[in-house]
Amino acid sequence: MKFIFALVITFLFSTAFSFKDVSAESIQEGVSVDIARKEYSLESLKQIVDTIHENNGQYLQLHFSDDENYAIESDYFSHQGIPNENYLTKAEIKSLIAYSNELNVMVVPDIDFPSHSKALLSLIKNEDKDLYNQIISDYSDNTFDFFSNDKALAISKRHIGEITTLFNQPKYNGQQRIVLGGDEVPGGDAYQSDFISYMNNIGSYAAGQGYEPQMWNDMISHEGIKSLNDTFSILYWKQNENSKSDLTVEDFAEYDFKIYNYNFYSLYFLPSNQFTNADIEEQADYISWAYAYNKFFYTNEPYQEVDSDNVKGSALSFWGEDALNMSQTELINQEIPLIKAYFSS
């Protein structure tokens, strides 16, 4: 799970300071929201879009598919028999996109393959158990089989195609991105060639739909990067501690990949009803000094400055596993001040 209680480390490395130089003017800054673990109403999402717009941000990223839920309506199954049965209808997604685009905010869909897919696989199983058995990994029940499995690839592309059609935004023709996952994949490190081949296959499909495919950095090895399609851009959340996969931002830049900063410390937050207003103020102060678009999380330095033109953006991410009992008002009241702190840093 890509998260950390950032409040715990608010005062660590307190001599570091946030900065932005003139090169940051072209940096894409956005907000990523985990609607898979915690439901968000359309109105709540529009409030977040308002705040992005008011602070000159560029995008909203919707993480809608994970082990707990597939939080968008699909033509291929009904939403039953999974931990969280709440979801946004296609009509609500279209409304959100129209509202966001009017405010010059692009909406980026975020679906997880081949792992973090337990909810999607469970929903497929409810409809067709034989199909499920053909595409499930031997490693985990949350993972699609990525070993040259044509059926698994076809179903992956089926859902990518449904999402790319739904999220089509003519205003951003040629600029749209889709997150395809690629993080924390059981077996992905031991069988890197098969993993990279699977990601290349679905990435090429997404690119053919007019989207720039994106994936998380942690499962890509020093060997795997050599064959990863350069159509991908990289969401860098933390450096892998495994020496086979401990690529730095500079390593990705050397292969000319675009990189987006999703720093595991300064840019992750888990809303919780245990936090007080004072806690949120403290977290906002922390973001203000800890975040800069080019400060990345490395194993021995969580605020490593990287000077590279390949760094193209960043996002403040809200993960929902601790927010299950929060009301929409409580959720938004914690997130809006942090979003403002992020954009003003």
pTM: 0.93
Assign residue 148 a region: left if phi > 0, alpha if psi is -120 to 50, beta otherwise? left
Strands (E), the chain: 28-34, 59-63, 106-113, 177-181, 212-216, 233-236, 258-261, 268-269, 295-298, 301-305, 311-318
Residue 106, both tokens:
């692009």
Burial class (CB in 10 A: 0-12, 13-18, 19+), 214: buried
Cα separation of 45 and 63, whole Å?
A: 12
Cα separation of 225 and 218, whole Å?
A: 11
Cα separation of 202 and 94, whole Å?
A: 24
Which own/partner contact pairs does 272-278 have at CB distance under 8 Å and 24+ positions apart?
Answer: 272/322, 272/323, 272/326, 273/323, 273/325, 273/326, 273/330, 274/322, 275/7, 275/334
Q: CB within 8 A of 251, min separation 6: which ones?
A: 222, 225
Phi, psi of 100 (to 5 degrees): -65, -45
Q: CB within 8 A of 140, min separation 6: which ones?
A: 115, 186
Q: How do the pLDDT tens digits run along the chain, 345 residues long? A: 544 444 444 333 333 333 344 345 589 999 999 999 999 999 999 999 999 999 999 999 999 999 999 999 999 999 888 888 899 999 999 999 999 999 999 999 999 999 999 999 999 999 999 999 999 999 999 999 999 999 999 999 999 999 999 999 999 999 999 999 999 999 999 999 999 999 999 999 999 999 999 999 999 999 999 999 999 999 999 999 999 999 999 999 999 999 999 999 999 999 999 999 999 999 999 999 999 999 999 999 999 999 999 999 999 999 999 999 999 999 999 999 999 999 999
